[in-house]
Structure 1
Amino acid sequence: MTSPSGSTPAEAQAFLEAHPEIEAIDIVLTDANGVGRGKIVRRHELEAIYKNGRHMPISILGLDITGEDVHETGLIWDSGDGDLRAWPIPGTLVPLHGTSPARGQVLMAMHHLDGQAMTSDPRHALARQVERLAAKGLHPAGAFELEFFLLANERDADGKVQPARAVLDGRESGKTEVYSVDHLHGMEPLFSDIYAAAKAQGIPAETVISEYAPGQYELTLNYRTDVMRAADDLVMLKRIVRAQARRHGVTACFMAKPIEKYAGSGMHFHVSLVDGAGRNVFAEKDGEGWKPELLHALGGLATTMAESMLVFAPHANSWRRFVSQSYAPVAPTWGVNNRSVALRVPAGEVKARRIEHRPSGVDANPYLVAATVLAGIAKGLDEKLDPGPETTGNGYEATSEAGKAMPVDWRAAIEAAKASEFLKSALGPDLHRTFTEIKHAEYLRVARTVSELDYHLYLHEV
């Protein structure tokens, strides 16, 4: 059958001819948690996958963060755990840097056996929102920022994670060396391999900085006119960072808050809209105020933020990131050139006018984040929503407007997401059920776990 993803056997043939050294290929399907699941296939299997797809069990999209089945998703025994068919995503067949023997990688999307999109696949949710805007003559462009920690493989004497030593010379630093260029030099061999791997995969990885915590770094990605490709970039770059860090003897950590006394890691999403003539619809003319389209988009994002927070902060650990003056937003505020708000309009050239969406942690799924953000923008445009007054100064002192109060914790976010008609529309009913049931199952797992903190607080005291 013809590939419903648009992939062709010619792509596989050209890749194999260009890379005779490659012996195997990772085929990777991204689940609701952003975990890459799939198989490693041999070189001779690749062309058949492009011709016929590859059967994979439906349950692969109904797993929790540990890989356990979540029966409430309806994706396990309700369907007999039958096979569906995964198809390659065009343009994502790439070589992997530094593997021995040499391997490649291709991202996959899940479809039913008749070729229809499997609607619990997060990538299809984003595709649907892109198509929704395209029907209005609008085309989203964007890029993600990737913050992460590089940690030592060994814990400290108290069992806590600790920043990795420099891979160049083993130098140790426990300081917050924010924006220190000299500090970056200690990780130069690792970042050189990350850049080489990104180049081999066509990923526009750009600036690296030392971030606002010991062992924390940020990589930026160049802006894409195709938001789907921007999300693919983030998925692929995380895999690169994790693999290259491991090869250099350290651990790349994408938890939102791995160290309690320091700032957590975000995944800021920059987004704009382009019309059919290639004009940025958010860009105001010289001497004029903000475009109504920009304000309505901000209004939609602010109005829907509270019920969408489970997408932006999907795990128990995610909620440790949201504290005052932490560079993580705590209210659905907007402002200009202000990093204390949730929705930032960056300074810069008018032609590059965009919204920086700041709530998401680096542990969030970029396909779900982008789908939810685009749905919020569309709602704001359709209903001409008002974002309220701009927040100036310290956004942590701002209070939520009525009806926009943020969930106070993970459980409240799960309940808000389950009840949200907006989120059901943004993700689609099937993925909405899959995602919220997975999160509910994970919440129950955490809630019934007796932790070391329990013993510390209560063992000898109550």
Structure 2
Amino acid sequence: MSRPDWLAQAPAHARAFLDGRRLDEVECIIADLSGIARGKAMPAAKFATQSHFYLPNSIFQQTITGDWADDGDAAFLEPDMVLTPDFSTASAAPWTADWTMQVIHDMRDQSGEPVPVAPRNVLKRVVALYEAQGWKPVVAPEMEFYLVARNIDPAKPVEPPMGRSGRRAAARQAYSMSAVDEYGRVIDDIYDFAEAMGLEIDGILQEGGAGQVEMNLRHGDPVKLADEIFYFKRLIREAALRHDCYATFMAKPIQDEPGSAMHIHHSVVDRATGANIFVGPDGSETEAFLHFIGGMQAHMPSVIALLAPYVNSYRRYVRDFAAPVNLEWGRDNRTTGLRVPISDPASKRVENRIAGMDCNPYLGLAASLACGYLGLRDRIAPQPQFTGDAYNSAEGMPRDLTTALDRFEAPSPIHDVLHPHFVSIYGAVKRMEVDAFLQVISPWEREHLLLNV
């Protein structure tokens, strides 16, 4: 079935981008396990004549290095998935030379069932569990990333970018407006691209690292916000390339600098009344609020492999270095992994500070929400609030990817929430990435072991 009028179903910002112009190309995309955009680009006229297209399901067995993990089946048949466009995600690709639109696609198998290993479907599955209970989860992500000098030699350490002053971006300048101005042209393009794409930025600030930026997004629906982070990562990289630098979302790209997190603020509202279930009519905290925290404390160790998905991710978890190393919770306490920010009662929320910016946004949000859901469902009581410096507490979480995968693959209620087949595929892919990493000999090993042991 053709769709010559598909743009009528697109958001207003997409139609505005094309006002008076002829659309040249449509990029039909999905996010793989790593959050990389994969799919097909096609002429706009061709896109308008087809209702779906196909991609092999092996896309979700590909590692970050381009290898392919075995999912345990007897044969590697690579059956096709059926991809259909979600027109609500239609958005400009304003960095291209022609007039191009992007459209995120839904993924189903040939019998019409959602592909369980597709990250967007994993998140939709978790959100549906909330909806079945009459709840609506609300999230507000914070994105941290680095702008760095061009680096085409993987053996060379990453450096901060050169600013407009002719000096490299300085560290330890958190919240400095002049530090942001050093690479203001990149920020200007980020704003311009976001406006063209209909993406709303709540604020941009300088973080503690040299060239490190934090960008806050307004709160909303988890799937929509994950789509936006997926888009934002792409547009930020493109904005940086226009100005002779890179944008990186690695958890720890520069030695001795803080890592980059994706803090996730959570609240849950009653679908019938729209009220925040974390507070009662008098504004006091409810049992549901405590149960959500309890679920995160109980089940977060099982999903760290989703929140910190690479060997590099665990370099971010350094005691007293702007990243949590624990699963304690506290009010207005940035040393705890779970923080309750200052807010009015209607905005009562829990901030998960564990997730790294290198995680797939669909899987990071799904993992965090899954823990809170199990806490609500099973009425899990949290540990007592931590009121001191939580860096002095027991860590309580895996500190390397192998240990995290052991916890992820061990029997857990999380498996049924996320889907057992997803757990199997994800574990196989990440195990293969760990094995590939262990084959690489680092400069540290050559410096300290070559002649000394």
What's the CA shift for 1:2?
11
Q: After TM superposition, list the pairs within 5 Å mapping 1:81-96 onto structure 2.
A: 81-96=78-93
For each residue in 1:39-61, what CA deviation from the matched residue of structure 2 results, as whole angstroms up to 9, or x when unmatched? 22222122234x2x111111111
1:342 lines up with 2:337 in the alignment: yes
Q: Tell me the alpha carbon deviations over residues 265-317 of structure 1, each in whole angstroms, 9 at most, x when there is no partner.
A: 000111111102110111245474x2111000000000001111101111000
Report the Cα distance in structure 1 between the residues aligned to 2:101 and 2:119, rounded to whole angstroms: 23
CA distance in 1, matches of 2:54, 2:283: 57
**Which sits farther off after the overlay, 316-325 or 448-457?**
448-457
Q: Distance in 2 between matches of 1:230 and 1:377?
A: 18
Residues 1:237 and 2:232 are matched in the alignment:
yes
Query: Superposition pairs for residues 15-414 of structure 1, below 5 Å?
Result: 18=19, 20-49=21-50, 51=51, 53-72=52-71, 74=73, 78-154=75-151, 159-166=156-163, 168=164, 170-224=166-220, 226-275=221-270, 276-286=272-282, 288=284, 290-399=285-394, 405-414=396-405
Contact residue 309 and residue 407 of structure 1 kept, 8 A: yes
String of CA shifts for 1:311-330, please: whole Å, max 9, x gaps. 11110000101111122211
Residues 44-101 of structure 1 show CA distances to partners (whole Å, capped at 9, x for unaligned) of: 122234x2x1111111111001222112364xx8351122211222311111223212
Aligned partner of 1:295: which letter? L
Deviation at 1:154, TM superposition (A): 3.9
What is the alpha-carbon distance in structure 2 between the residues aligned to residue 120 and residue 415 of structure 1?
A: 19
Mean CA deviation greater in 335-344 or 77-86: 77-86
Letter in 1 for 2:194: A
Output the CA distance in 1 between the equivalents of 2:245 and 2:403.
Answer: 35
Q: What residue identity is the alignment partner of 1:34?
A: G
TM-score (norm: length of structure 2): 0.93
Contact between 2:283 and 2:345, CA under 8 Å: does it hold in 1? no
Instruction: Give a deviation string over 1:383-432, Cα, whole Å, max 9, x none.
Output: 211111111121111225xxxx3223211111111114233123201111
Provide the secondary structure at the position in 2 that maps to 1:385.
coil
Query: Which moves more between the two structures, 350-359 or 279-288?
Result: 279-288
Structure 1 pair 165/13, CA: closer, same or farther in 2 (3 Å)? closer
Alpha-carbon distance between aligned partners in 2 of 1:24 and 1:73, rounded to the nearest angstrom: 38
Q: 1:420 to 1:181 in 2, by over 3 A?
A: farther
Alpha-carbon displacement from aligned partner over 1:181-207 (angstroms, at most 9, x marks no partner): 011112222111111111222211121
Change in 2 beyond 3 A, CA 1:140/1:228: same
Match of 1:418 in 2: 409
Aligned partner of residue 257 in structure 2, secondary structure: coil
Gapped regions of structure 2 (runs ≥ 5): none
Task: Provide the residue aligned with 1:11 in structure 2.
Answer: 9
- In 1, Cα distance between equivalents of 2:249 and 2:300: 22
Alignment match, 1:428: 419
SS of equivalent to 1:450: coil
Q: 1:13 & 1:216 partners in 2: Cα distance?
A: 32
Task: Evaluate the alpha carbon distance shift between residue 367 and residue 2 of structure 1 in structure 2; reply closer, same or farther with a 3 A threshold.
Answer: farther
Cα RMSD between the aligned structures? 2.4
| Native 8 Å contact 1:118 1:124 kept in 2 | yes
The one-letter code matched in structure 2 to 1:250 is C
Q: SS of 1:264's equivalent?
A: coil
Give the TM-score normalised by the residue count of structure 1. 0.91
Which digits, 9 at most, give the CA deviation of each residue in 1:312-369, with x for residues without a partner?
1110000101111122211111011111111111102111111111100000111112
With over 3 angstroms needed to count, the CA separation of the structure-2 counterparts of 1:411 and 1:208, relative to structure 1, is same
Q: What amino acid maps onto 1:194 in structure 2?
A: I
2 CA distance for matches of 1:12 and 1:357?
Answer: 33
Superposed displacement of residue 439, structure 1? 0.5
CA distance in 1, matches of 2:57, 2:431: 20
1:433 maps to amino acid? S
CA contact (8 A) 2:302 2:407 kept: yes
Q: Structure 2 vs 1, CA of residues 172 and 448 (structure 1 numbering), >3 Å: closer, same or farther? A: closer
CA apart distance, 1:177: 1.4
Aligned residues of 1:241 and 1:252 also touching (Cα < 8 A) = yes
